[in-house]
Amino acid sequence: MVNLPPEFPDSSDPNQPRPATDNVPRSDRRILDFDELLALVLALLGVGAIFWWGLSRNDTFAAQTGLLRRQVDEAVPRLFGTTEETTPERFQPRSLEPGQRRPTAASQDNNSQTQTGGLPSLGRRSDQPRRAVSRGVAEPEATPIAPATVPADQPATDPAANSAAAPPPLDISDVPESHWAYPFIVAMYEAGYLPAFASGQFEPDRALNRGDLALLIDQAFGDQPDPAAAEFSDVSSADQVAPAVDQAVAKGFMSGYPEGDFRPNQLVPRYEVLVSLGAGLDLPNASNPDQTLQAFVDAEAMPEWARNPVAAAAENALIVNYPNRDQLRPTATATRAEIVAMIHQALVNQGELPPVASDYAVPAL
């Protein structure tokens, strides 16, 4: 407690008037003691420190306030199930981050496509720099996708109808590299000499019929201009193999039977494949068929009329025998791999393809 000078009245008496301090002599005025001075100095220092801290943290406080406001604006639509965008009136512009310059008038003109608050519009050009958001993540640049248009004069197509009309693209992944005919099949496939099959797969060990042989011959040896329609009792114009049969007959590779039928579903033996290739390539007759066919231990199994054409095919290196090169197996049903290998050798004979290395290709006899 501070003691009053004796000449001052008792301050506890409300009826007693307090004299003005201006009339009190300077020597009689109260002097603050050490504790009061220390408390006053500390209070002034605290107020000054708080004021200085507030000035130094103005930018950071504004940035944090803007971030909090944006997070609230983004969370409110999700909470209440609405997707309304933030309006410019409610959007709070972001303060500058450390090291970021304020845009000049020229840069503001160049960025006229930018939305309020610095967010890029969907039409922003790719040469405009990205601006970093306060979270340190670059804003994604959206690319508008133009809707697909169909010309008015182009009729609409039905994908199901197209898939039904044309077989799927050929896939030879079912032919392993260890398969004996792999070199022949790959060479034919890469050169475009193989047609598309109904299954989409190559199926190398599948036994083929005469219709399948016509399809392979048609693809490998090109089209005959305006071939005459082959009139067979068992092949109608609506059959899928009819165009290939017409081509194979017109080019001289195949013919019908004396009864007037073609027999497209009849399995084709190996010797018939060689006879067809020799006829289509117009190979000359063998000079000595019996001597040529002595290279094969089972040549006697084929019909007599086929000996000369098969011998001509042997002299022109068209024969491929698997698993033994000296076994012709003339009456065995030909597989797709065997027929493709022999057609490959025929294309090599015509200079259309280079030869491939194989232990089963019989050299010219």
What residue segments make up the domains of the chain, in order of their start? 41-94, 166-208+267-349
Please give the pLDDT value at position 43.
Answer: 85
Look up residue 330 and give its DSSP letter: T
Average pLDDT over residues 91-106: 38
Beta bridge partners of 132: 138
Please give the pLDDT value at position 46.
Answer: 84
- Say how many C-beta atoms besides its own lie within 10 A of residue 66's C-beta: 17
Of the candidates 340, 343, 349, 345, the residue with the CA atom closest to the CA atom of residue 357:
345
Average pLDDT over residues 259-263: 97
User: Computed over its alpha carbons, how large is the radius of gyration of the chain?
Assistant: 49
CA angle 306, 311, 314 (to 5 degrees): 130
User: What is the tens place of the pLDDT at every residue in 209-222?
Assistant: 999 999 999 999 98
User: What is the tens place of the pLDDT at every residue in 162-199?
Assistant: 334 577 889 999 999 999 999 999 999 999 999 999 89
Please give the pLDDT value at position 212.
Answer: 97
Please give the pLDDT value at position 61.
Answer: 52
Region of 222 on the Ramachandran plot (φ > 0 left; ψ -120 to 50 alpha; else beta):
left
Task: Report the percentage of the chain scoring pLDDT > 70.
Answer: 60
Please give the pLDDT value at position 145.
Answer: 38
User: In the numeric block, which tokens belong to residue 17?
Assistant: 């008037």
Average pLDDT over residues 213-236: 91
- Which residue type does 44 have? L
User: What is the tens place of the pLDDT at every residue in 310-345?
Assistant: 999 999 999 999 999 999 999 999 999 999 999 999
